[in-house]
Amino acid sequence: MRILVISDTHGNDWRFLDALYDAGDIDAVIFAGDAEDREDLYEETAEVPFYFVAGNNDFYSDAPDDLEFDLCGFHIFLTHGHRYRVSFRPELIRQEARARHADILIYGHTHRPLAEQDEDLLVLNPGSAAYPRQAGRRPSYILLILQEGEAPRYQIRYPDI
C-alpha cells in the first residue's frame, strides 16, 4: 500500500496537487491537519481513502482532533500535534501514541519533516507542503509504503515546484 502523508497546506491547493502528482499511484492519503477547510476538495481530488484530522487552523472542520485506524496490520495514531505541544515537548506525543498501542505515529504542526524509527514506534511528520520551516525551506511530504508482515518503508520527499 502506497500512502501519501501530508500536512499543513494552509489552503494552498496547488501544493497538495504537486504532492499528489509527485507521489504517483497511491492507495490512500493521510492528512495531518491544517488544510484550512480544503479537506473535502483534497479527498475528492485524491479519489482514494482519505484520513484527516483537524489542525489548529481548521476552524470550521468537523474532523476529529485524533484518529486511530489500522492499515496493513499497523495501528496508526494520527493527530495534528498542537494539543500535545509538539513544538516544545515532543516526548508527550510519543507517550500518547504508545499509550494507544500505536505502531505508527503521524503528526504535523511543526512544519519540519521528521522520520524516526524508535524500537517500538515509527514517528512521521511530513513537514509542511506550503510553509516549510526546516533548513532549506522546501515543501515536503512523506511517501509511506506498508505491507502486512514487513517493516514500514518511508521516504521524505520534496516535490519540484
Q: What mean pLDDT do residues 149-161 have?
A: 92
pLDDT score recorded for residue 160: 76
Mean pLDDT of the chain: 96
pLDDT score recorded for residue 161: 57
Cα distances (angstroms) measured from residue 159 to each of 19, 66, 100, 132: 6, 27, 33, 13
Question: What digits encode the pLDDT tens for the residues 54-108?
Answer: 999 999 999 999 999 999 999 999 999 999 999 999 899 999 999 999 999 999 9
Domains of the chain: 2-157 (3.60.21.10)
Q: What mean pLDDT do residues 5-31 have?
A: 97
